[in-house]
């Protein structure tokens, strides 16, 4: 409908109808057997409100959403369609690698294509909005939601935020769906990496490191923003006027819908900033939070607050208008299904072109961490290969947040290897259980008998180990498919011991005694502590949860069809005691390597290095490139300068490098990071090819929040570092 008609529609609504638009409920309230009673009573939601709810959480499927929509509209006075919103984070039915792997591609253009597929498939399944991308910056691998982030750098995360929003909303009227960026803001800075824990930092750090990726998503036109569970500066974000109103709406000009995270409005009471639903509702509405996801606050408190004149009616009207506008932008008043149909699902879901794209993305996401003596790539049907480990013949490769994906669609590692090895050259034995205990699954509601059935009996363990040893003795190469359990990462997946599970490390120790060539495939939703394995293994590949085509992508890398190009977007710690660890920290007054103080009295640990095991930007390839001839267009910069260098491929193997440009502002009015990523370029080189590449660095890129909190560049000396993931070349210039 025409936008001017929206105001007329708004004016025609009763307050009950208006409040209903600001409430989102999950599927059980809309089950096909009529309205559920249990949860409704539990939340204290009236029939009138229920009949006017504005949106539905995590219900998808063309037929199911159509049926619910039609039944709902048949009872709706003003025929305002439901919004269907869902967690479609890194794929709908074709599942791409987890975003921490997508970050390691350093290829926003490729990821934009992947998210176009996400949007198309989700739309065919009846979704109108996806709660993606998650663009929280992460620095602490203990936090389970590293899985959903593209990593620890504000610039790299901003590139991906932009590309994911553009992908999801691509050809919005015909193909795309609405993107909801989350979790605004700074959720990834939870103290001690403990889920839902306090976040507190200076406004400078917030603006320098944590806000850029959200702003990039907003600037890309994201239609919605989701609040985060955490506090910022003592106020939970869902009631935080500084963040939601001053920054998001007034500073950035965001006029879209803000939705609370799950029950976060009610949790203002648990945080201790509201004593009841009325105070929680007031705080959230005053902060301009529009939709209350799955909490009883707006549903039970808004009408009485309005009736008693205790809340500004204009606030409510503005919130309702934004929701109606989103529905109108989606064209729901004209077509509430947006073309979703079972036929469309059949046509699009898991389309072969989508699978091929997922395989390409997966192979670009994997990071080769070790390759001693150039063990990899293997030659097909040359060595006798034994595949072992709980992830060897396991389709659980899509990760916790692939909510609408199906593991049975996934290509396992064993299936992938069979693309290159015949039965004579490939054997498999699980060899080890995944975990010593699955009891933690009880917290997710898994019944005890199911949990008990997951665990291998001691006899089965012993037999599996014996078989693995016997097969290992005959093998030339052993590939270990190991890692954390799917449910050990993702939301509510904070952990303090990030090494491989004990049972797997015991198994590994026994198998390594065979003295064979060993390759570790690490399946995880976060950086694991691989310090032991770094010493023990000949080759290590960080494969993440690699998605629907994970097994085939991995095999392409192992046998050299793909030359690995992934570079870490998050540091892998040497030990959990280093956390949080990230590359762009400050020098401190006693830098470990340049301080004048004596050995002990510098910024370091007694029992661990300062450096991570594998740093941000690191990764190996099958070729070796060399950086040289670093040249600056001038050594004094006013508005911009050009940095050029040669990149040479020293081997005959073609390969792709990610050339990374960093700076250091040597002296600032406040301390400045030892390194800041400013630009990056992926380049492909043929064997023994040399290319000259250049970057144009501008004055604007040198801006930061100065001592007075002005966002400006300050004259002075700057260092330049150009890296390819293994080598670094440096230069300096003066900004005048």
Instruction: List residues near ligand GLC by CB under 6 A.
Output: 58, 87, 131, 182, 261-262, 491
Closest to 428 measured CA to CA, from 392, 396, 459: 392
What is the DSSP code string of 166-215? HHHTTTTTTT--EEEEEEETTGGG-GGG-TT------HHHIIIIISHHHH
Residues 6+ apart with CB under 8 A from 106: 156, 567, 569, 658, 680, 682
Q: State the nearest-atom distance from the C-beta of 202 to ligand GLC, in Å.
A: 25
Q: How many helices (H) and strands (E) does the chain have?
A: 23, 26
Q: State the nearest-atom distance from the C-beta of 187 to ligand GLC, in Å.
A: 8
Residues 6+ apart with CB under 8 A from 615: 568, 571, 572, 583
Write out the two tokens for 369. 């961490």
Q: State the nearest-atom distance from the C-beta of 518 to ligand GLC, in Å.
A: 37
Report how far residue 177's alpha carbon sits from residue 166's, in angstroms, rounded to the nearest whole number. 10
Report how far residue 402's alpha carbon sits from residue 490's, in angstroms, rounded to the nearest whole number. 10
Could you tell me the CA-to-CA distances from 420 to 283, 355, 424, 478 in Å, in that order? 60, 19, 12, 15
- Note if the bond before 377 is cis, omega within 30 degrees: yes
Q: Which CB atom, from 172 or from 262, has the smaller least distance to ligand GLC? A: 262
Q: State the nearest-atom distance from the C-beta of 144 to ligand GLC, in Å.
A: 11
Q: State the nearest-atom distance from the C-beta of 122 to ligand GLC, in Å.
A: 14
Q: Which CB atom, from 194 or from 505, has the smaller least distance to ligand GLC? A: 194
Q: State the nearest-atom distance from the C-beta of 262 to ligand GLC, in Å.
A: 4
Report how far residue 142's alpha carbon sits from residue 570's, in angstroms, rounded to the nearest whole number. 12
Burial of 531 (0-12, 13-18, 19+ CB in 10 A): middle
State residue 691 phi and psi, 5-degree precision: -125, 145
Burial of 405 (0-12, 13-18, 19+ CB in 10 A): buried
Report how far residue 372's alpha carbon sits from residue 391's, in angstroms, rounded to the nearest whole number. 23
Catalytic residue among 87, 136, 153, 261: 261
Report how far residue 327's alpha carbon sits from residue 128's, in angstroms, rounded to the nearest whole number. 9
Q: Which CB atom, from 129 or from 247, has the smaller least distance to ligand GLC? A: 129
Q: State the nearest-atom distance from the C-beta of 490 to ligand GLC, in Å.
A: 10
Q: Which CB atom, from 261 or from 292, has the smaller least distance to ligand GLC? A: 261
Q: Is 91 helix (H, G, I), strand (E, B) or coil?
A: strand
HSE-up of residue 394 (Cα within 13 Å, Cβ side):
27
Q: State the nearest-atom distance from the C-beta of 130 to ligand GLC, in Å.
A: 9
261 among known catalytic residues: yes
Residue with tokens 């009616």: 313
Q: Is 656 helix (H, G, I), strand (E, B) or coil?
A: strand
Q: Which CB atom, from 58 or from 328, has the smaller least distance to ligand GLC? A: 58
Q: Which CB atom, from 68 or from 503, has the smaller least distance to ligand GLC? A: 68
Count, residues in the chain: 736
Q: Which CB atom, from 55 or from 395, has the smaller least distance to ligand GLC? A: 55
Q: Which CB atom, from 203 or from 491, has the smaller least distance to ligand GLC? A: 491
What residues are annotated to the active site?
261
């Amino acid at each position: 409908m025409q936008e001017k008609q929206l105001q007329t529609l708004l004016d025609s609504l009763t307050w009950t109808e208006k409040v209903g638009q600001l409430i989102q409920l999950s599927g059980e309230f809309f089950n096909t057997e009529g309205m559920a009673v249990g949860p409704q009573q539990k939340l204290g939601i009236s029939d009138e409100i229920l009949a006017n709810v504005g949106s539905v959480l995590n219900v998808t499927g063309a037929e199911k959403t159509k049926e619910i929509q039609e039944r709902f509209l048949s009872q709706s006075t003003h025929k305002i369609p439901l919004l269907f919103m869902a967690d479609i984070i890194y794929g709908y039915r074709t599942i791409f690698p987890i975003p921490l792997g997508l970050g390691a591609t350093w290829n926003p253009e490729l990821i934009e294509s992947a998210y176009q597929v996400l949007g198309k498939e989700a739309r065919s399944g009846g979704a109108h909005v996806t709660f993606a991308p998650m663009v929280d910056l992460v620095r602490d691998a203990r936090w389970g939601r590293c899985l959903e982030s593209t990593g620890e750098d504000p610039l790299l995360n901003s590139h991906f935020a932009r590309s994911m929003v553009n992908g999801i909303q691509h050809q919005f009227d015909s193909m795309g769906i609405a993107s909801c960026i989350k979790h605004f803001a700074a959720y990834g800075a939870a103290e001690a990496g403990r889920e839902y824990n306090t976040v507190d930092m200076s406004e400078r750090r917030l603006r320098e490191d944590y806000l850029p990726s959200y702003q990039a998503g907003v600037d890309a036109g994201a239609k919605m923003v989701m609040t985060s569970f955490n506090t910022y500066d003592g106020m939970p974000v869902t009631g935080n006027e500084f963040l939601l109103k001053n920054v998001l709406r007034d500073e950035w000009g965001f006029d879209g819908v803000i939705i609370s995270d799950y029950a976060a409005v009610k949790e203002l009471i648990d945080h201790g900033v509201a004593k009841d639903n009325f105070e929680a509702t007031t705080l959230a509405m005053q902060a301009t939070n529009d939709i209350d996801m799955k909490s009883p606050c707006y549903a039970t408190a808004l009408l009485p607050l309005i009736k008693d004149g205790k809340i500004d009616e204009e606030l409510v009207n503005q919130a309702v208008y934004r929701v109606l506008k989103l529905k109108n932008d989606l064209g729901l008043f004209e077509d509430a299904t947006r073309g979703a149909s079972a036929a469309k699902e059949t046509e699009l879901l898991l389309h072969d072109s989508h699978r091929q794209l997922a395989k390409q993305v997966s192979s670009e996401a994997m990071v080769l961490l070790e390759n001693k003596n150039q063990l990899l790539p293997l030659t097909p049907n040359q060595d006798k290969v034994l595949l072992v480990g709980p992830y060897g013949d396991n389709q659980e490769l899509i990760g916790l947040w692939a909510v609408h994906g199906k593991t049975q669609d996934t290509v396992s590692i064993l299936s992938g290897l069979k693309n290159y090895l015949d039965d004579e050259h490939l054997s498999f034995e699980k060899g080890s259980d995944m975990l010593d205990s699955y009891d933690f699954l009880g917290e997710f509601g898994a019944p005890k008998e199911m949990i008990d059935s997951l665990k291998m009996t001691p006899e089965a363990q012993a037999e599996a180990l014996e078989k693995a040893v016997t097969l290992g003795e005959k093998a030339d190469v052993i590939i270990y498919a190991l890692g954390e359990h799917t449910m050990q990462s993702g939301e509510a997946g904070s952990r303090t011991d990030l090494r491989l599970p004990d049972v797997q490390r015991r198994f590994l120790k026994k198998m390594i005694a065979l003295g064979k060539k060993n390759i570790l495939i690490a399946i995880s939703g976060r950086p694991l502590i691989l310090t032991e394995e770094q010493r023990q293994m000949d080759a290590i590949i960080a494969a993440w949860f690699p998605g629907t085509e994970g097994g085939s992508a991995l095999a392409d890398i192992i046998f050299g069809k793909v030359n690995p190009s992934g570079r870490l977007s998050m540091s892998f710690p040497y030990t959990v005691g280093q956390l949080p660890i990230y590359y762009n920290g400050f020098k401190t007054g006693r830098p470990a390597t340049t301080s004048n103080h004596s050995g002990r009295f510098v910024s370091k640990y007694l029992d661990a290095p300062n450096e991570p095991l594998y740093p941000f930007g690191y990764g190996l390839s099958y070729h070796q490139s060399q950086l040289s001839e670093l040249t600056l267009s001038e050594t004094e910069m006013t508005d911009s300068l050009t940095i050029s260098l040669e990149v040479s491929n020293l081997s005959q193997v073609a390969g792709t490098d990610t050339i990374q440009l960093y700076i250091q502002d040597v002296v600032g009015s406040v301390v400045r990071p030892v390194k800041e990523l400013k630009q990056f370029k992926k380049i492909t080189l043929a064997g023994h090819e040399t290319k000259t590449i250049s970057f144009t660095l501008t004055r604007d890129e040198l801006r930061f929040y100065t001592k007075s909190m002005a966002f400006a560049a300050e004259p002075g000396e700057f260092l330049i570092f150009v890296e390819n993931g293994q080598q670094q070349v440096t230069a300096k210039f003066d900004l005048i």
